[in-house]
Structure 1
Amino acid sequence: MSMKHVKNLECVQCGATYAPGQVSYTCPNHSGVSGILEVQYDYDRIRERFDEPLDGDIRSQWKYRAFLPVDDDATPVTLGEGGTELYDAPRLSEQLGVETRVKDDGRNPTGVLKDRATSVSVTKAMHASRGIVTCASTGNAAASLAGYAARAGVDCRLFVPSDAPVGKLAQPLVYGADVLAVDGSYDEAYDLSMEATEEFGWYNRNAAINPYQVEGKRTVGHEIAEQTRGDVPDWLVFSMGDGCTIHGAWKGFREFRKMGFVEQVPKMLGVQAEGAAAIHDAFHEHGSADELASTRADSIAVGRPRNTVKALRALNESSGSSVLVDDEEILRAEKLLGSTEGIYAEPAGAAPVAGVRTALREGLIEENESVVVVVTGNGLKDTESAMEASGTATEIAPNIEAVNELYGTDGD
């Protein structure tokens, strides 16, 4: 193994450290998945390895290979993930009442930010000669893993709740994966995936327990830092499910500050749905009990987040905060984002827009501040919710008179 830039894996609970490769997933000092591991780096070595120009030309996340925990001789399994656009959003800004830019990670190869993490984990699985990969998912991670498994030529076995959106189930099936629809919640599907991993020795991509998954998500933070050099936003806004993504983005942005590539860091705003509020409740010390999640934003419908500790670190270290939004607000945000800026987001991807409105109303974000909202998934993932947000097509007769009735003879 040649990863001299990776120092160790540190347990977020007890601080025990392990050499890379010494443990596969979590700290053995704890039962279940509570002993989440954090990858620690030697940044002097990374500085020696990283020689890319920070000029905004980002063709894929592998521009930041020097930061990623993959062996020097590993061949990346890639579909061109990363390098997504950061858009100015003047009409959305006017509607929200605060300067807003949008990072559209729904433009990743399988339509979701998770491709950043999956590329890293499948690269590691292939380098370790692991022939079967698995994960539990509400849909997006399943589609992502299936796509990259197909690219790598390895078998993929997925555990999803049976009520996952049809579009998200169709995608991994097209990629050739075995999709196992579990008669239960995401949390039950997750528990079963862990049992199968233990029983059969498959390589598990689950972001909550695979320490290298979050590390792939860091690249969205690297990209935003590079894309906003000289104009770093006051706030960086993500929806939260398991808590991995917001932590990864914060870690990546913070690394660029540590290395002197940017002069400041943003505050992180985490957005959760009212029906899946465990991280928000933990941050505000509301004392939430484990419950089944219930929200139209299925990608963040997590009742028992496994990476709460890391998410809380991101919020606290950045002097950030979290807010809750209801499903009606999320669907309105999906329509608003599409109609003002032409960006098509699934509900979880639109939740940050709703979160900005709530944060403004609650006084967390000031009107003179700036924000970057990150769309984590494409709207084609869940067209049923999009139709609910936007309504149906207008039916007309097949003649020009019908058009005249709607718009008048001048067409306006």
Structure 2
Amino acid sequence: MDHVRTLECTLCGETYDPEQIVYTCSNHPGVRGILEVRYDYDVVRDRFDEPLDGNIRDQWKYRAFLPVDADAEPVTLHEGGTELYDAPRLGDELGVRMRVKDDGRNPTGVLKDRATSVSVTKAAHAGRDVVTCASTGNAAASLAGYAARGGLDCRLFVPGDAPEEKLAQPLVYGADVLAVDGSYDEAYDLSMEVTEAFGWYNRNAAVNPFQVEGKRTVGHELAEQTQGDVPDWLVFSMGDGCTIYGGWKGFREFRDLGFVDEVPNLLGVQADGASAIHDAFHDHDSTDEVVNTLADSIAVGRPRNTVKAVKALRESGGTSVLVSDEAILRAEKTLGSTEGIYAEPAGATPIAGVRKARAEGIIDPDESVLAVVTGYGLKDTESAMRASGNVTEITPEIAEVDRRYDSAE
């Protein structure tokens, strides 16, 4: 990996050999010392010879940017290359020009597949037989699918209240799913303990420095797909903070290398009941680690990548907003009914954030907005039913249909 210079602690600047499996800086207790992957961009530029023509089969088009060995065989299900849609009816509803990138179309239904492909590739190349992570469901399903693809054992730690729809997926993929009697953060702590005790390869995006690097391919794709029409605002939901930072890093890299001329402002969106990154960005005091939101994919009380997420918001000239669960459900229904895009609650949260930002005057009506949907709606059908209401029951008589829908229309 001669294109990867080092792993650098975001707190103290201590550096580590990127060829080694290391998760956090040893100078800081717990998982505070998050590591940043530093590249030799002269090498990256020399190796990247793909045309930026919008033809993106999968994220491995950007292999020159990914922190994997030259002789590593990718473990892939052709993640990435997701569509960017114009969304005129959604824009009319929100009062702004809208586009949507639907990363719920990834192989296991979530943007996290970009990161998982990289981590499982690295685990397999390093000769590790077991991969693990903590998850509210999406990362678990993603890791299980890619572990099956790569022939690795997968052992997952989920909170006891994770949605059944999300637990069915990893079980089908053959993973061991261990439901912890506690919160996501308790499941996370246990996953870190077993990683140290048993030597399993840990995919936790909050601490595995290579996970963010896979997620940043969404920024590469967005930069390529919006050449000549870069949005004024790029919107992500925020949980651990990895996705928004990864998207920003990828987009910024393309600007710095001269592939695109400008970058968007970032809008980060969190739920009222899980607001730690928003609070840190706005310098609000926040010590409450108890979360309360139906958007389980972003229900994180102790985000491990707050530093990176706040850095992305500030570097981009962006900001963050909070939205209620009711606003998230409304956004899920609005996105589906206007544009035919089915998102889970966390995936629809950016739409709720755009509505909030428009109401507060953060986004002007003459500005353009691009929202990234991070997960597919079938991940949480219970919330979808709450957003949309129940089916209408009728008798098998055409007269009843006629009464409901005026046949003269």
- Given the two structures, how large is their TM-score scaled by the length of structure 1? 0.98
Distance in 1, matches of 2:342 and 2:20, equals 42
Q: What one-letter code is carried by the residue in structure 2 that aligns with 1:113?
A: L
Deviation for aligned residue 1:121: 0.1
Deviation at 1:193, TM superposition (A): 0.5
The residue number in structure 2 matching 1:52 is 50
Question: Displacement, 1:363?
Answer: 1.4
Partner of 2:201: 203
Counterpart amino acid of residue 88 in structure 1: D
Whole-angstrom distance in 2 between the partners of 1:292 and 1:113 = 25
Contact 1:68/1:216 (CA < 8 Å) preserved in 2? yes
Q: Equivalent residues in 2 for 1:222-241 (5 A)?
A: 222-241=220-239
- Tell me, yes or no, if structure 1 residue 104 matches structure 2 residue 88: no
Q: Is the CA contact (8 Å cut-off) linking 1:222 and 1:256 kept in structure 2?
A: yes
Take 1:195 and 1:51, find their aligned partners in 2: how far apart are those partners? 42
Q: State the partner residue of 1:269.
A: 267
The Cα offsets for residues 215-252 of structure 1, whole Å up to 9 and x where unpaired, read as: 00000000000000000001100000000000000000
| 2:85 counterpart letter in structure 1 | Y
Find the partner of 1:144 among 139, 142, 145.
142
Size of the aligned set, in residue pairs, is: 409
Does residue 187 in structure 1 map to residue 185 in structure 2?
yes
Distance in 2 between residues matched to 1:290 and 1:50, nearest whole Å: 45
Give 1:21 shift: 2.4
| Distance in 2 separating the partners of 1:217 and 1:301 | 19
Report 1:64-143 matches (<5 A): 64-143=62-141
2:353 aligns to what?
A: 355
CA drift of 1:402 comes to 1.5
Look up the match of 2:154. 156
- Tell me what 1:291 maps to: 289
Counterpart of 2:258 (choices 254, 257, 260) is 260
Decide whether the 8 Å contact of 1:279 with 1:312 is kept in 2. yes
What CA distance in whole angstroms lies between the structure 2 residues aligned with 1:301 and 1:84? 25
Partner residue of 1:372 out of 370, 373, 387: 370
Shift of 1:174: 0.4
Cα deviation for residue 173 of structure 1 reads 0.4
Matches of 1:97 and 1:307 in 2, distance apart? 32
Give the letter aligned to residue 208 of structure 1: A
1:247 aligns with 2:234: no
Q: Quote the Cα distance in structure 2 between the aligned partners of 1:350 and 1:371.
A: 14
> SS state of the match for residue 269, structure 2?
strand
- Aligned partners of 2:231, 2:39: CA distance in 1, in Å? 26
> Percent sequence identity over matched residues?
77
What is the RMSD computed on CA atoms of the aligned residues?
A: 0.7
1:290–1:304: 8 Å Cα contact kept in structure 2?
A: no
Deviations 1:335-359 (A, max 9, x none): 0000000000000000000000111
State TM-score, norm by structure 2: 0.99
Residue 270 of structure 1 contacts residue 321 of structure 1 at CA under 8 Å; is this kept in 2? yes
Deviations 1:356-395 (A, max 9, x none): 0111111111111111000000000000000000001110
Aligned counterparts, 1:295-310, within 5 A: 295-310=293-308
Partner Cα distance (1:399, 1:130) in 2: 62
Task: Find the aligned partners of 1:306 and 1:290 in 2 and give their Cα distance.
Answer: 15
For 1:265, give the aligned amino acid. Answer: V
TM superposition shift of 1:408: 2.2
Query: Deviation string for 1:140-193 (max 9, x for gaps)?
Result: 000000000000111000000010011001000000000000010000000010
Cα drift, residue 295 of structure 1: 0.3
Give secondary structure in 2 for the equivalent of 1:360.
Answer: helix
Q: Could you tell me which amino acid in structure 2 is paired with residue 144 of structure 1?
A: S
- Alpha-carbon distance in 2 for matches of 1:404, 1:34: 64
Give distance in 1, aligned partners of 2:40 and 2:194: 34
2:60 counterpart residue number = 62
SS in 2 for 1:285: coil
> 391-400 or 15-24: which moved more?
15-24
After superposing the two structures, state which structure 1 stretch, 109-118 or 283-292, moved more: 283-292
Superposition deviation, residue 399 in structure 1: 1.7
Q: Find the aligned partners of 1:16 and 1:318 in 2 and give their Cα distance.
A: 26
Gapped regions of structure 1 (runs ≥ 5): none
Question: Unpaired runs of 5+ in structure 2?
Answer: none
Q: Shift of the alpha carbon at 1:23?
A: 5.1
Which residue matches 2:8?
10
3-state SS, counterpart of residue 225 of structure 1: helix
Q: In structure 2, how many angstroms separate the alpha carbons of the residues matched to 1:273 and 1:344?
A: 19
